[in-house]
Amino acid sequence: EEEAKEEEAKSSFQPGTVHWMAPELMTRGFRHEATDVFAMGVVLWELWTQKTPYHKKNVREIANAVISGSRLDVPEIVDPPARRNEEYAQLMSACWEQEYERRPSAAEVLRSLREILDLLV
């Protein structure tokens, strides 16, 4: 009985919500630390814009966009300190690299966020 429950849990597992999903997860079901880094880049965009990612697109449109390499629009950098905003935008873009091998590690993302926070003080 316990084994049947485990199998049911595995078969009903959804790897994530498409709004935050990396292209390799959509196309091959491939998971890697960099898959989470991609999602973190989307969360960084959410924090900056205060919007739901791809809020005007349906699931199929989102998947097609991400798989083809299209990404969320990076907000215009208008307010000081521009350097902080530019570094934040660069970090988001790095997290969204199409090829997972080219994305920063989670440790590198953390280090970059700390550096950006240091610019605030």
What is the Cα–Cα distance from 82 to 65, expressed in whole angstroms? 29
Residues 44/95, Cβ–Cβ less than 8 Å = yes
Domain borders along the chain are 2-118
Ordered per-residue pLDDT tens for the chain, 121 residues: 655 444 443 444 455 689 999 999 999 988 999 999 999 999 999 998 899 999 999 999 999 999 999 999 988 766 656 677 889 999 999 999 999 999 999 999 999 999 998 877 6
Structurally, what CATH architecture does the domain formed by 2-118 represent? Orthogonal Bundle (1.10)
